[in-house]
Structure 1
Amino acid sequence: MDSKLGLRLNKFVVSNNKETREIELKNGLNIIYGPTDTGKTYIYQCIKYLLGSNTLPKKIPENSDFHDAYLEIKSLYYNSIFTLKRTFSKNKISIYDCPFSEIEKDTESITVNTRGSKNLISTKLLEFSGINPDTKIKTHIRENKYRNIAIRDLLYFSLVTEMGIITDDSLITTGQYTSKTVELNLFYYLISAQHTSYLTYLSDQKSSKKKKQVQNKVEASNILITELIDETKRELLTLEKIKSNNEVSYSEELLFVTSEIEEQSSKLKSTFENIEKLKTRKMMNRELLKRFKLLTEQFNSDLQRLEFILEGGEIISKLAIENCPTCGGKLVSDRHSRHRDPESIQDINSEVLFASYNAEKKKILLNLNDLTMTINNLENENHIINHDISMLEKRYHDIKERIDEELKPTRTSLENKINRAVDEKLIKEKIGYLKQKLYRFQLEVSDSNQIENNKSANQSSSNNIKYLIDNHLDQLCKIMNSYLLDMSFPDVKHGNENVEFDSTANDFIINGKARSVYGKGYRAIIYSVFLVSFMKFCRDNNLPHIGFVVIDSPLTTYQEKENELPEEKVPEDLKERFINTLSNEKNLQIIIFENKFQIPTIDINCIEFTRDRNRGRYGFM
């Protein structure tokens, strides 16, 4: 029998009795990645469903006729393999004492329930993990009320959804007041493997701190604490005055205004281009008008010349025929031909000549009429162009005025409001931190005169438990510190104790900064590091743990595609270092579901869903 506690997931399968869909999981780092709607979240929900959850996995079109799900698991404690089978919408789970590949129709199995009081899947999984299912966890602060440990208690530190991974609440508790006591008692049990009360631990912690202060500083420490209380109260008072209760998010308004500016800027550009086109057309028309008017002048000049000739010819035709100056006879007589200069004699038909002139005159008049109409059309077109230019320039001015005087100032105002909202959030966080700090100081002062009276018969045993828990918490913080250093997490430096556990807030402080005040991308990484560190710590100390970690989208945080503040986004190189760091853990089973991103070429079990029918595996189904 292997002394290791916990389980390891080997294979997940869904079946419709005709065909199966499956993925194989290995020890070390497993990454199942690809675009959305390829079945990653479905696998996560099915694994949780097979481990006893009563929340039915979401329905997807591809799995409509796949009604059975299987989960092949190795018990590290018994060094044996068993398989869980659950039919969707059923509250019973079958357990086969063999791998999935050996299950036949007549293979024997035992049936357990997911709810009720007897024969529960939780009990069986705890037994397979090597954890006593009869372990009692105290559920009430003052009354001696207990309940048995359940598999869901261990899964809280093992399975995390894409929404849960970015929480700014405590990593130890769910934030529900009614369950806080049992959740804290559970954590201190898991960290120590001894049943204890977290209130006893805190009380011991305070007493220890107080005793050390009395020994080292005596009365001077009380004076210092009193000064710190006064200083904290003054700072609280100042912050409370400037604190705002405005919880309105302006991200959507900023996105709308920014898109409106882009749209109006596009219209502005289009309007400007149309104005320039019209001005170019107007310039061409002006040049044509100039030339056409010059041609009109030429036509008018030719017309005047022809009219002058025609008028002169008409006058000449009315003159009487004179006698020959030589002989005194009629000039029309042939016998006088010798009296005329032969070179000047031309036989001219005046009627033909005048008809030709009149035809030329009509042709010029027609051309002049066409040219006049063309000029009028061009002038009318220019008039319309001037009107259109005027309208477009007014539109251009209105759009530009709206952008400059309305949209841009609105965007600036929203950006300022968002910046103020961020500042207000930081102020509220600091107020909460100062209140906790003030509470601790006041608690120390109120206990200062009773330290010697707090001893009891169980002091030695209590001190041993406290020492054990302190030592184990310190080990856990050192493991987290080592991971964060290896992946070069911002502000984490070598040689420093960068990680510490805040037992009041029940969360971790990274280099003096509470985890809750980090952006959601960085919170997701810290949460992931805590889960893996806690698993490694439990494995190294042979403490109760389910044996694997399943994380949904630790690097592509929930709704990252929407507006995220720049400080919330994780750089790509940090994501790569995160993967490289976890890939070194060959003896721990880490299962990560992620969107498509560049996977480093390292020795890890990568399963890619391409959402491409022509390349690789389309999706799980």
Structure 2
Amino acid sequence: MGKKFKLIKLSLIGTRKNYEVIFKDGLNYISGPTSTGKTLILEMINYALGSEKHKSYIELGQSCTFVKLEIEIKDLKYIIKRKLFEFNEPVAVFAWDLESNKFKYLDRFDIDIPSNPKSLTFFLLEKLDLSNIKVAKQDFSFRDLFKYSYLKQTEIDNENIMGEKNWQTSIKRKPTFEIIFNIYDELLAGLKASLKVKNDELKESQTKVNSINEFLQRSEMMDFKTYLNKRSDVDKSIIEKQKELYDIKITGNIKEESTLELQNKILKLKNQCEKLGRNIIEQTQYVNKLILLKNQYISEISKIDFIVEGYHALNRFDYVICPSCLQSIDIDVSSNKCNLCGKEKIEPEIEEILSLKHDKKTLIKKNKELGDYIQNEELNLELMMKECSDLKNDLFNSEKELLHLHKHYINPLMERIEQLNYEIGEANRIITELESNHKMLIELDRIKTLCKDKEKSVEDLKDKIRNTESTVTDKEDVIKNLSEQLTKNLIAFDFPKLENSYIDGKTYLPHVRERLYSELGSLAGVTLITMAYYLAIAICANQETFNHLGLIIIDSPRKNLGADSKEKTFKDEEIFNSIVSFLIEVDKEYRTDIQFVVVNNGYPIFLNKNDIIKEFDGDGRKGLPYGMIDDIQG
């Protein structure tokens, strides 16, 4: 079975150069010290796939403007292009065209809820045959499904795997699990409703295609080949006629002094066009630099918010139970001392907070003023481009006038010159019509691509409905297989004192030692169980009728493990090595079906170098790049 969803290439579009990560089938390992951009890679994948926002990375704001993610969904390739730091801007999607062997613009999609058919999440779900499905009286989202593929560094040990402790985030957790394993009661009804919507959309697109086709048929231009042939013929005709006019000028003893003024004007216009072209390039670079500065302002505002919040948040923690021995702590309510260490709690300085808030207010004002200034500069750029276009038109008209003046002094050849000028003008009119039709061809091509996409989506959805109707998935079998795989994973991880591990049939959450994973009192244990849980779901859902993406992204699997672990039973470095060994074995078995992306600081010596797709050294002295953005200018 081929992958449902596959990462191909991530590109950060920079002002100096582009920064790329190319993914392969199976295991993709990314290694490097702290602050080298490892997690940035994963966050940019998440952002391109519809996350509301990304962190305000300083290097990112100074160097990049867009992120591009090339993906493959059921053997069809797409590129998602999204602007950085502008979280509400729509994304552009390009689809691979087999005939032209290149990506073509498909459409723009909003970062919005899936009920919006022009949203990115709706587009992605449509390609996966899961659009228009309701769960817990809400629209099922691609983000709900992606949670089972992306294990963040901050979530790998947070004792709240899928947000099950908060009803707002938990309400869609169980239905999503059931959709993945095809045991959701309302899945079939949702698929049939989606089929009706897709058929209506397909008919609408086909109507548009027919209308444009009829117009182009009347214009006797049905494809790009016809356009190119006609354009080539007209251009060739113009060149021949202009050459004939030039020959007449050379042999006709034209009085050059009568046209000297106009020739000087033409030369001046050409110089002005050239100078304005350079100014346009400089203005474009200037606007890009202003955008990067605006990104830095946004980053600084986020940083101040974090600091102010930290002042208050750090004083909120009152421990009732000792995290080391799990015994109760005597609390002196009247005291302002820490329950653990007995030291006085430090109250934040009011003046310092006020100063930070004042700085934030100033930055917000500067950010707004800079945004207005950027708009003005972009307007100036548009005016410069318009001025350049006007100069070129003036140049064209002056050159035409020069030709007319030439014919005035060649009386014997006047009739021929007039005829040539008329034919050249007629040819230019034909070119204008051809360009207009060319734009319609481009739009027709885009709508045809959408139609093909929708036709395939309809056929895939029909197949999915037939498979869902003919396949009966037993929930107990799913839970049993998951429990067995979870245990197998934990054994491979060398989980200490492992016993009675299973997936609960009601909550769909992992239990170990007869306790819910979050009640073990061990963050290292939670880290191992969380990874084993995600991997178990991906492996067991590796069937054609199931709906897992076939993608697992894990950030920092070594967290709380190895020599730095605070828990003695998890200090063995072999535990981390066992995790990597297990991933290597799973990769061998499921390479064509499941894609793994793992980010960590370091790797065991037995890991195959071919599986390391990116490695950073933090200083650039070991023949490796410093980090993801490796050319920061000091």
TM-score (norm 1): 0.51
Aligned to 2:553: 550
Equivalences for 1:81-160 in 2 at 5 Å?
Answer: 81-88=77-84, 89-90=86-87, 91-98=89-96, 107-115=104-112, 117-128=116-127, 130-137=128-135, 139=136, 146-160=137-151
Code of the residue aligned with 1:575 in structure 2: it is F
Aligned to 2:511: 509
**1:127 & 1:57 partners in 2: Cα distance?**
28
CA contact (8 A) 1:84 1:96 kept: yes
CA contact (8 A) 1:611 1:618 kept: yes
CA contact (8 A) 1:192 1:472 kept: no
Pair 1:592–1:74, CA change in 2 (3 A): same
**1:179 & 1:591 partners in 2: Cα distance?**
25
CA contact (8 A) 1:165 1:528 kept: yes
**2:126 & 2:618 partners in 1: Cα distance?**
40
**1:103 & 1:17 partners in 2: Cα distance?**
28
Pair 1:466–1:11, CA change in 2 (3 A): closer
Deviations 1:504-526 (CA, angstroms, capped at 9, x unpaired) = 66521224343221521221121
- Helix, strand or coil for the counterpart of 2:105? coil
The offset of 1:186, in angstroms, is: 2.5
Pair 1:178–1:246, CA change in 2 (3 A): farther
Q: 1:180 aligns with which of 170, 190, 202?
A: 170
- Helix, strand or coil for the counterpart of 2:597? strand
Aligned to 1:538: 541
Code of the residue aligned with 1:123 in structure 2: it is F
**1:513 & 1:196 partners in 2: Cα distance?**
31
CA contact (8 A) 1:15 1:69 kept: yes
Aligned to 1:58: 56
How many equivalent residue pairs? 347
**1:480 & 1:115 partners in 2: Cα distance?**
35
Equivalences for 1:321-332 in 2 at 5 Å?
Answer: none
Larger Rg: 1
- Helix, strand or coil for the counterpart of 2:559? coil
- Helix, strand or coil for the counterpart of 2:181? helix
Code of the residue aligned with 1:607 in structure 2: it is K
Aligned to 2:615: 608
The offset of 1:251, in angstroms, is: 6.7
CA contact (8 A) 2:562 2:572 kept: no
The offset of 1:472, in angstroms, is: 0.3
The offset of 1:592, in angstroms, is: 1.3
Deviations 1:388-413 (CA, angstroms, capped at 9, x unpaired) = xxxxxxxxxxxxxxxxxxxxxxxxxx
The offset of 1:556, in angstroms, is: 2.6
Deviations 1:561-589 (CA, angstroms, capped at 9, x unpaired) = 6xx63247442101001001011223221
Aligned to 1:80: 76
The offset of 1:168, in angstroms, is: 1.5
Deviations 1:11-65 (CA, angstroms, capped at 9, x unpaired) = 1110126521111112212111111110012112111110001112332236513
Aligned to 2:482: 476
Residue identity (%): 18
**1:47 & 1:182 partners in 2: Cα distance?**
23
CA contact (8 A) 1:521 1:555 kept: no
Code of the residue aligned with 1:488 in structure 2: it is D
The offset of 1:154, in angstroms, is: 0.7
**2:63 & 2:38 partners in 1: Cα distance?**
19
Q: 1:190 aligns with which of 180, 189, 205?
A: 180
Aligned to 1:566: 567
CA contact (8 A) 1:519 1:567 kept: no
Pair 1:478–1:196, CA change in 2 (3 A): farther
CA contact (8 A) 1:535 1:545 kept: yes
**CA RMSD across the alignment:** 3.5
Code of the residue aligned with 1:158 in structure 2: it is S
**2:145 & 2:165 partners in 1: Cα distance?**
17
Aligned to 2:34: 36
Pair 1:467–1:47, CA change in 2 (3 A): closer
Q: Do residues 166 (structure 1) and 157 (structure 2) align? A: yes
Code of the residue aligned with 2:159 in structure 1: it is D
Pair 1:589–1:599, CA change in 2 (3 A): farther
The offset of 1:175, in angstroms, is: 2.0
- Helix, strand or coil for the counterpart of 1:585? helix
Pair 1:252–1:154, CA change in 2 (3 A): farther
Aligned to 1:319: none
CA contact (8 A) 2:558 2:600 kept: yes
Aligned to 1:620: 628
Code of the residue aligned with 1:479 in structure 2: it is Q
Aligned to 2:502: 500
Deviations 1:586-605 (CA, angstroms, capped at 9, x unpaired) = 32211111123444333623
Q: 2:19 aligns with which of 18, 21, 25?
A: 21
Aligned to 2:9: 11
Q: 1:592 aligns with which of 574, 589, 598?
A: 598
**2:162 & 2:511 partners in 1: Cα distance?**
13
**1:85 & 1:575 partners in 2: Cα distance?**
36
CA contact (8 A) 2:482 2:540 kept: yes
CA contact (8 A) 1:26 1:605 kept: no
**2:338 & 2:106 partners in 1: Cα distance?**
54
**1:549 & 1:82 partners in 2: Cα distance?**
20
Q: Do residues 46 (structure 1) and 49 (structure 2) align? A: no
CA contact (8 A) 1:477 1:501 kept: yes
Equivalences for 1:381-392 in 2 at 5 Å?
Answer: none
Pair 1:114–1:65, CA change in 2 (3 A): same
- Helix, strand or coil for the counterpart of 1:168? coil
Deviations 1:282-338 (CA, angstroms, capped at 9, x unpaired) = xxxxxxxxxxxxxxxxxxxxxxxxxxxxxxxxxxxxxxxxxxxxxxxxxxxxxxxxx
**1:520 & 1:45 partners in 2: Cα distance?**
23
**1:521 & 1:64 partners in 2: Cα distance?**
36
Equivalences for 1:60-459 in 2 at 5 Å?
Answer: 60-61=58-59, 63-75=61-73, 77=74, 79-88=75-84, 89-90=86-87, 91-98=89-96, 107-115=104-112, 117-128=116-127, 130-137=128-135, 139=136, 146-169=137-160, 171-195=161-185
Deviations 1:432-455 (CA, angstroms, capped at 9, x unpaired) = xxxxxxxxxxxxxxxxxxxxxxxx
The offset of 1:503, in angstroms, is: 4.3
CA contact (8 A) 1:5 1:131 kept: no
Code of the residue aligned with 1:483 in structure 2: it is N
**2:486 & 2:6 partners in 1: Cα distance?**
22
**2:131 & 2:595 partners in 1: Cα distance?**
23
TM-score (norm 2): 0.50
Deviations 1:263-288 (CA, angstroms, capped at 9, x unpaired) = xxxxxxxxxxxxxxxxxxxxxxxxxx
CA contact (8 A) 2:95 2:104 kept: no
Q: Do residues 529 (structure 1) and 519 (structure 2) align? A: no
- Helix, strand or coil for the counterpart of 2:52? coil
Pair 1:518–1:25, CA change in 2 (3 A): farther
CA contact (8 A) 1:68 1:85 kept: yes
Q: Do residues 580 (structure 1) and 586 (structure 2) align? A: no
Pair 1:613–1:180, CA change in 2 (3 A): closer
